[in-house]
Amino acid sequence: MKASAGYQIVTLNEFIINRQEEHPEARGDLSRLLHHIGVAAKIVNKKINKAGLVDILGEAGEVNVQGEDVKKLDVFANDHFIAAIQASGEVCAIASEENQEIVTFDDGLSRDGHYVFCMDPLDGSSNIEVNVSVGTIFSIYRRTSPEGERAQVSDFLQTGDHQVAAGYVIYGSSTMMVYTTGNGVDGFTLDPGIGEFCLSHPGIRTPDEGRIYSINEGNYVHFPMGVKQYIKYCQEIDPDTHRPYTSRYIGSLVSDFHRNLLMGGIFIYPQTQSAPKGKLRLIYECNPVAFIAEQAGGAATNGSTRMLEVIPDDLHQRVPLYVGSRKMVDKVKAFLHQYP
Protein backbone atom coordinates (compact mmCIF):
# COMPACT_ATOMS: atom_id res chain seq x y z
CA MET A 1 0.00 0.00 0.00
CA LYS A 2 1.49 3.35 -1.01
CA ALA A 3 0.81 6.12 1.43
CA SER A 4 0.19 9.54 0.01
CA ALA A 5 3.31 10.93 1.70
CA GLY A 6 5.30 8.64 -0.58
CA TYR A 7 6.55 6.09 1.94
CA GLN A 8 5.34 2.57 2.26
CA ILE A 9 3.37 1.35 5.27
CA VAL A 10 2.83 -2.39 5.63
CA THR A 11 0.26 -3.29 8.23
CA LEU A 12 0.38 -6.56 10.14
CA ASN A 13 -2.61 -7.90 8.24
CA GLU A 14 -1.12 -6.97 4.89
CA PHE A 15 2.14 -8.60 5.88
CA ILE A 16 0.36 -11.78 6.95
CA ILE A 17 -1.53 -11.95 3.64
CA ASN A 18 1.63 -11.28 1.61
CA ARG A 19 3.44 -14.08 3.44
CA GLN A 20 0.52 -16.42 2.87
CA GLU A 21 0.57 -15.67 -0.85
CA GLU A 22 4.19 -16.84 -0.94
CA HIS A 23 2.85 -20.27 0.06
CA PRO A 24 0.13 -21.24 -2.45
CA GLU A 25 -0.50 -24.46 -0.49
CA ALA A 26 -1.39 -22.48 2.67
CA ARG A 27 -5.07 -22.54 3.62
CA GLY A 28 -4.98 -19.28 5.54
CA ASP A 29 -5.69 -20.81 8.94
CA LEU A 30 -2.46 -19.62 10.54
CA SER A 31 -2.99 -16.20 8.96
CA ARG A 32 -6.44 -15.96 10.55
CA LEU A 33 -5.01 -16.94 13.90
CA LEU A 34 -2.23 -14.34 13.72
CA HIS A 35 -4.79 -11.72 12.81
CA HIS A 36 -6.81 -12.57 15.93
CA ILE A 37 -3.69 -12.38 18.11
CA GLY A 38 -3.19 -8.85 16.78
CA VAL A 39 -6.77 -7.94 17.69
CA ALA A 40 -6.42 -9.27 21.25
CA ALA A 41 -3.12 -7.42 21.62
CA LYS A 42 -4.80 -4.14 20.69
CA ILE A 43 -7.59 -4.68 23.22
CA VAL A 44 -5.15 -5.53 26.00
CA ASN A 45 -2.92 -2.62 25.02
CA LYS A 46 -5.78 -0.19 25.36
CA LYS A 47 -6.59 -1.46 28.82
CA ILE A 48 -2.96 -1.38 29.96
CA ASN A 49 -2.54 2.19 28.71
CA LYS A 50 -5.44 3.23 30.89
CA ALA A 51 -4.28 1.23 33.89
CA GLY A 52 -3.25 4.28 35.88
CA LEU A 53 -6.57 5.98 35.27
CA VAL A 54 -9.10 3.41 36.32
CA ASP A 55 -9.44 1.18 39.30
CA ILE A 56 -8.23 -1.90 37.51
CA LEU A 57 -4.91 -2.42 39.24
CA GLY A 58 -4.52 -4.60 42.25
CA GLU A 59 -5.25 -8.10 43.38
CA ALA A 60 -8.14 -9.95 41.79
CA GLY A 61 -8.52 -11.97 44.94
CA GLU A 62 -7.21 -15.10 43.26
CA VAL A 63 -3.90 -16.90 43.18
CA ASN A 64 -2.66 -18.31 39.89
CA VAL A 65 -1.42 -21.85 39.41
CA GLN A 66 2.14 -20.81 40.21
CA GLY A 67 1.07 -19.56 43.65
CA GLU A 68 1.72 -15.94 42.76
CA ASP A 69 -0.68 -13.04 43.19
CA VAL A 70 -2.94 -12.49 40.21
CA LYS A 71 -3.43 -8.87 39.22
CA LYS A 72 -6.68 -7.83 37.62
CA LEU A 73 -4.96 -7.06 34.35
CA ASP A 74 -3.67 -10.64 34.16
CA VAL A 75 -7.24 -11.81 34.29
CA PHE A 76 -8.31 -9.26 31.70
CA ALA A 77 -5.50 -10.22 29.31
CA ASN A 78 -6.15 -13.92 29.83
CA ASP A 79 -9.88 -13.59 29.13
CA HIS A 80 -9.43 -11.45 26.03
CA PHE A 81 -6.75 -13.60 24.48
CA ILE A 82 -8.81 -16.73 25.10
CA ALA A 83 -11.88 -15.10 23.52
CA ALA A 84 -9.95 -13.85 20.48
CA ILE A 85 -8.20 -17.14 19.91
CA GLN A 86 -11.46 -19.05 20.18
CA ALA A 87 -13.06 -16.60 17.73
CA SER A 88 -10.41 -17.49 15.15
CA GLY A 89 -11.88 -21.02 15.02
CA GLU A 90 -8.39 -22.37 14.30
CA VAL A 91 -7.45 -23.48 17.81
CA CYS A 92 -8.83 -26.46 19.72
CA ALA A 93 -7.26 -25.66 23.11
CA ILE A 94 -5.17 -23.17 25.06
CA ALA A 95 -2.55 -23.56 27.77
CA SER A 96 -2.11 -20.42 29.84
CA GLU A 97 -0.02 -19.43 32.82
CA GLU A 98 -3.27 -18.37 34.44
CA ASN A 99 -5.05 -21.73 34.09
CA GLN A 100 -4.03 -24.87 35.90
CA GLU A 101 -5.68 -27.09 33.26
CA ILE A 102 -5.82 -26.65 29.51
CA VAL A 103 -8.82 -24.73 28.20
CA THR A 104 -10.51 -26.84 25.52
CA PHE A 105 -13.01 -25.48 23.02
CA ASP A 106 -15.90 -27.78 22.37
CA ASP A 107 -17.75 -26.01 19.57
CA GLY A 108 -17.57 -27.92 16.29
CA LEU A 109 -15.42 -25.35 14.51
CA SER A 110 -12.77 -25.25 17.21
CA ARG A 111 -12.69 -29.03 17.64
CA ASP A 112 -11.69 -29.16 13.99
CA GLY A 113 -8.97 -26.59 14.64
CA HIS A 114 -5.46 -27.64 13.64
CA TYR A 115 -3.61 -25.77 16.36
CA VAL A 116 -3.08 -25.45 20.09
CA PHE A 117 -2.10 -22.12 21.58
CA CYS A 118 0.19 -21.52 24.59
CA MET A 119 0.53 -18.18 26.33
CA ASP A 120 1.64 -16.12 29.23
CA PRO A 121 -1.07 -13.48 28.82
CA LEU A 122 0.67 -10.84 30.90
CA ASP A 123 4.27 -11.51 31.70
CA GLY A 124 6.03 -9.35 34.25
CA SER A 125 2.71 -8.32 35.73
CA SER A 126 4.23 -7.61 39.14
CA ASN A 127 5.73 -4.55 37.39
CA ILE A 128 2.44 -3.04 36.27
CA GLU A 129 1.83 -0.96 39.34
CA VAL A 130 5.09 0.92 38.80
CA ASN A 131 4.44 1.52 35.09
CA VAL A 132 7.15 -0.80 33.83
CA SER A 133 6.70 -2.53 30.46
CA VAL A 134 4.93 -5.87 30.46
CA GLY A 135 4.20 -8.32 27.67
CA THR A 136 2.24 -11.20 26.25
CA ILE A 137 4.15 -14.28 25.10
CA PHE A 138 2.59 -16.83 22.77
CA SER A 139 3.39 -20.01 20.93
CA ILE A 140 1.48 -22.15 18.42
CA TYR A 141 1.76 -25.88 17.77
CA ARG A 142 -0.03 -28.18 15.38
CA ARG A 143 -2.18 -30.52 17.48
CA THR A 144 -1.21 -34.17 17.73
CA SER A 145 -4.66 -35.50 18.70
CA PRO A 146 -7.15 -36.27 15.91
CA GLU A 147 -9.09 -33.30 14.54
CA GLY A 148 -12.74 -33.31 15.55
CA GLU A 149 -11.93 -34.76 18.95
CA ARG A 150 -11.36 -33.01 22.24
CA ALA A 151 -7.78 -31.69 22.62
CA GLN A 152 -5.46 -33.43 25.11
CA VAL A 153 -2.65 -32.22 27.38
CA SER A 154 -0.30 -34.27 25.20
CA ASP A 155 -1.01 -31.82 22.35
CA PHE A 156 1.01 -29.31 24.37
CA LEU A 157 3.85 -31.55 25.51
CA GLN A 158 5.83 -31.22 22.30
CA THR A 159 9.41 -30.07 22.07
CA GLY A 160 9.84 -26.42 21.12
CA ASP A 161 11.24 -27.28 17.71
CA HIS A 162 7.68 -28.25 16.75
CA GLN A 163 6.47 -24.67 17.16
CA VAL A 164 4.65 -23.39 14.09
CA ALA A 165 4.85 -19.79 15.25
CA ALA A 166 5.83 -17.85 18.36
CA GLY A 167 5.93 -14.25 19.38
CA TYR A 168 5.38 -11.61 21.96
CA VAL A 169 3.67 -8.30 22.39
CA ILE A 170 5.51 -5.68 24.42
CA TYR A 171 3.36 -2.97 25.99
CA GLY A 172 6.10 -0.39 26.36
CA SER A 173 6.82 3.21 25.47
CA SER A 174 5.34 2.04 22.22
CA THR A 175 3.53 -1.25 21.75
CA MET A 176 5.12 -3.83 19.51
CA MET A 177 4.36 -7.30 18.27
CA VAL A 178 7.30 -9.46 17.27
CA TYR A 179 6.83 -12.92 15.84
CA THR A 180 8.25 -15.71 13.76
CA THR A 181 6.73 -18.50 11.73
CA GLY A 182 10.14 -20.10 11.26
CA ASN A 183 11.08 -17.80 8.42
CA GLY A 184 12.95 -15.04 10.26
CA VAL A 185 11.63 -12.58 12.80
CA ASP A 186 9.60 -9.45 12.09
CA GLY A 187 8.49 -6.65 14.39
CA PHE A 188 5.44 -4.40 14.12
CA THR A 189 4.82 -1.20 16.04
CA LEU A 190 1.30 -0.16 16.93
CA ASP A 191 0.41 3.19 15.42
CA PRO A 192 -2.22 4.42 17.88
CA GLY A 193 -3.41 7.00 15.35
CA ILE A 194 -4.68 4.39 12.92
CA GLY A 195 -4.97 1.49 15.36
CA GLU A 196 -2.77 -0.76 13.24
CA PHE A 197 0.42 -2.69 13.86
CA CYS A 198 2.83 -1.49 11.16
CA LEU A 199 5.96 -3.29 10.00
CA SER A 200 8.79 -1.40 11.68
CA HIS A 201 11.48 -4.05 12.23
CA PRO A 202 11.59 -6.39 9.21
CA GLY A 203 13.98 -9.36 9.34
CA ILE A 204 15.33 -8.80 12.85
CA ARG A 205 18.85 -10.18 13.33
CA THR A 206 20.48 -10.23 16.73
CA PRO A 207 24.23 -9.49 16.95
CA ASP A 208 26.43 -12.57 17.35
CA GLU A 209 28.00 -10.96 20.36
CA GLY A 210 26.51 -8.30 22.60
CA ARG A 211 27.63 -6.17 25.51
CA ILE A 212 24.68 -6.55 27.85
CA TYR A 213 24.06 -9.23 30.46
CA SER A 214 20.70 -9.46 32.19
CA ILE A 215 20.29 -11.45 35.38
CA ASN A 216 18.79 -10.87 38.81
CA GLU A 217 22.09 -10.53 40.66
CA GLY A 218 20.28 -10.30 43.98
CA ASN A 219 20.14 -14.09 43.78
CA TYR A 220 23.93 -14.31 43.26
CA VAL A 221 24.69 -16.43 46.33
CA HIS A 222 22.26 -19.07 45.09
CA PHE A 223 23.57 -19.28 41.53
CA PRO A 224 25.41 -22.35 40.18
CA MET A 225 29.20 -21.90 40.19
CA GLY A 226 29.31 -21.70 36.37
CA VAL A 227 26.94 -18.71 36.40
CA LYS A 228 28.94 -16.99 39.15
CA GLN A 229 32.11 -17.44 37.10
CA TYR A 230 30.38 -16.13 33.98
CA ILE A 231 29.24 -13.00 35.84
CA LYS A 232 32.84 -12.47 36.95
CA TYR A 233 33.89 -12.82 33.31
CA CYS A 234 31.29 -10.24 32.25
CA GLN A 235 32.69 -7.79 34.79
CA GLU A 236 36.38 -8.21 33.94
CA ILE A 237 38.25 -5.55 32.00
CA ASP A 238 39.19 -6.59 28.45
CA PRO A 239 38.89 -3.87 25.79
CA ASP A 240 39.33 -6.45 23.01
CA THR A 241 36.05 -8.12 23.94
CA HIS A 242 34.38 -4.87 25.09
CA ARG A 243 34.33 -5.95 28.70
CA PRO A 244 33.19 -5.12 31.29
CA TYR A 245 29.72 -5.61 29.84
CA THR A 246 26.76 -3.51 30.83
CA SER A 247 24.29 -4.98 33.30
CA ARG A 248 20.60 -4.38 32.50
CA TYR A 249 17.71 -6.09 34.24
CA ILE A 250 14.14 -4.88 34.13
CA GLY A 251 12.57 -7.98 35.68
CA SER A 252 10.14 -8.28 32.80
CA LEU A 253 11.23 -11.08 30.48
CA VAL A 254 9.65 -9.65 27.35
CA SER A 255 11.31 -6.26 27.87
CA ASP A 256 14.70 -7.67 28.82
CA PHE A 257 14.61 -10.14 25.93
CA HIS A 258 13.43 -7.54 23.41
CA ARG A 259 16.21 -5.10 24.28
CA ASN A 260 18.86 -7.79 24.08
CA LEU A 261 17.44 -9.12 20.81
CA LEU A 262 17.83 -5.72 19.17
CA MET A 263 21.07 -4.63 20.82
CA GLY A 264 22.84 -7.93 21.48
CA GLY A 265 23.13 -9.47 24.91
CA ILE A 266 22.28 -12.40 27.09
CA PHE A 267 19.37 -13.00 29.45
CA ILE A 268 19.87 -15.55 32.21
CA TYR A 269 17.45 -16.98 34.75
CA PRO A 270 19.27 -19.93 36.27
CA GLN A 271 18.15 -22.29 38.98
CA THR A 272 18.31 -20.75 42.46
CA GLN A 273 17.62 -21.97 45.97
CA SER A 274 14.03 -20.72 45.89
CA ALA A 275 13.55 -21.88 42.29
CA PRO A 276 15.62 -25.08 42.03
CA LYS A 277 14.39 -25.78 38.48
CA GLY A 278 14.55 -22.14 37.40
CA LYS A 279 11.63 -19.74 37.51
CA LEU A 280 10.48 -19.39 33.93
CA ARG A 281 8.08 -21.78 32.25
CA LEU A 282 9.24 -23.94 29.37
CA ILE A 283 6.10 -24.10 27.27
CA TYR A 284 4.85 -20.54 27.24
CA GLU A 285 7.89 -18.46 28.21
CA CYS A 286 11.18 -20.17 27.34
CA ASN A 287 10.31 -22.00 24.12
CA PRO A 288 8.73 -19.00 22.38
CA VAL A 289 11.69 -16.73 23.13
CA ALA A 290 14.10 -19.54 22.21
CA PHE A 291 12.40 -19.95 18.81
CA ILE A 292 12.56 -16.20 18.18
CA ALA A 293 16.19 -15.99 19.32
CA GLU A 294 17.25 -18.80 16.99
CA GLN A 295 15.30 -17.35 14.09
CA ALA A 296 17.13 -14.06 14.64
CA GLY A 297 20.53 -15.79 14.67
CA GLY A 298 20.82 -16.18 18.45
CA ALA A 299 20.67 -19.21 20.72
CA ALA A 300 18.91 -20.57 23.80
CA THR A 301 19.70 -23.39 26.20
CA ASN A 302 18.71 -24.68 29.63
CA GLY A 303 22.41 -24.94 30.38
CA SER A 304 22.97 -28.38 28.94
CA THR A 305 20.37 -28.91 26.20
CA ARG A 306 19.22 -26.70 23.36
CA MET A 307 15.98 -25.23 24.71
CA LEU A 308 13.94 -26.30 21.68
CA GLU A 309 14.93 -29.93 22.31
CA VAL A 310 13.96 -30.08 25.99
CA ILE A 311 11.20 -32.67 26.37
CA PRO A 312 8.30 -31.24 28.37
CA ASP A 313 6.66 -33.44 30.99
CA ASP A 314 4.33 -30.88 32.52
CA LEU A 315 2.28 -27.98 31.25
CA HIS A 316 3.73 -25.55 33.77
CA GLN A 317 7.25 -26.97 33.87
CA ARG A 318 10.04 -24.57 34.85
CA VAL A 319 13.52 -24.58 33.34
CA PRO A 320 16.69 -22.51 33.66
CA LEU A 321 16.95 -20.08 30.73
CA TYR A 322 20.04 -18.78 28.94
CA VAL A 323 19.06 -16.90 25.80
CA GLY A 324 20.52 -14.25 23.53
CA SER A 325 23.50 -13.59 21.30
CA ARG A 326 25.00 -16.82 20.04
CA LYS A 327 28.58 -16.30 21.19
CA MET A 328 27.47 -15.19 24.65
CA VAL A 329 25.28 -18.26 25.08
CA ASP A 330 28.20 -20.42 23.96
CA LYS A 331 30.44 -18.71 26.51
CA VAL A 332 28.11 -19.25 29.45
CA LYS A 333 27.65 -22.88 28.37
CA ALA A 334 31.42 -23.30 28.49
CA PHE A 335 31.49 -21.94 32.06
CA LEU A 336 28.64 -24.24 33.10
CA HIS A 337 30.56 -27.16 31.62
CA GLN A 338 33.79 -26.14 33.32
CA TYR A 339 32.13 -25.64 36.74
CA PRO A 340 29.38 -28.25 36.82
Nearer of residues 18 and 66 to ligand AHM, judged by Cβ: 66
Nearer of residues 132 and 199 to ligand AHM, judged by Cβ: 132
Closest distance to ligand AHM from the beta carbon of 206 (Å): 18
Closest distance to ligand AHM from the beta carbon of 319 (Å): 13
Give one DSSP letter per residue of 226-279, joined into a string: HHHHHHHHHHS-BGGGTBSPEE---S-HHHHHHHHHHH--EEEE---SSSBTBS
Closest distance to ligand AHM from the beta carbon of 122 (Å): 7
End-to-end CA distance of the chain: 55
Nearer of residues 31 and 96 to ligand AHM, judged by Cβ: 96
Q: CB under 5 to 8 A by kind: which of Mg ion, ligand AHM, none does 251 bind?
A: ligand AHM
Nearer of residues 195 and 251 to Mg ion, judged by Cβ: 251
149: exposed, middle or buried (C-beta count within 10 Å: 0-12, 13-18, 19+)? exposed
Residue 251 φ/ψ region, left for φ over 0, alpha for ψ in the -120 to 50 degree band, beta for the rest? left
Query: Cα(83)–Cα(69) distance, rounded to whole angstroms?
Result: 23
In the list 74, 90, 98, 120, the residue contacting Mg ion (rule: CB under 5 A) is: 120
Question: Which residue from 188, 273, 158 is spatially nearest to 227, judged by alpha carbons?
Answer: 273
- Pick the stretch among 107-115, 122-130, 264-272, 318-326 that binds Mg ion (CB under 5 A): 122-130
Query: SS3 of 225, please?
Result: helix
Contact residues for ligand AHM (CB under 6 A)?
68, 97, 120, 123-126, 216, 251-253, 279
Q: Is 98 in the site for Mg ion (CB under 5 A)?
A: no
Closest distance to ligand AHM from the beta carbon of 53 (Å): 22
Helix locations, the chain, DSSP H: 12-21, 29-49, 72-88, 108-111, 225-235, 253-263, 287-295, 326-338
Q: Is 123 in the site for Mg ion (CB under 5 A)?
A: yes
Closest distance to ligand AHM from the beta carbon of 43 (Å): 20
- Using CB under 5 A, list all residues that contact Mg ion: 120, 123
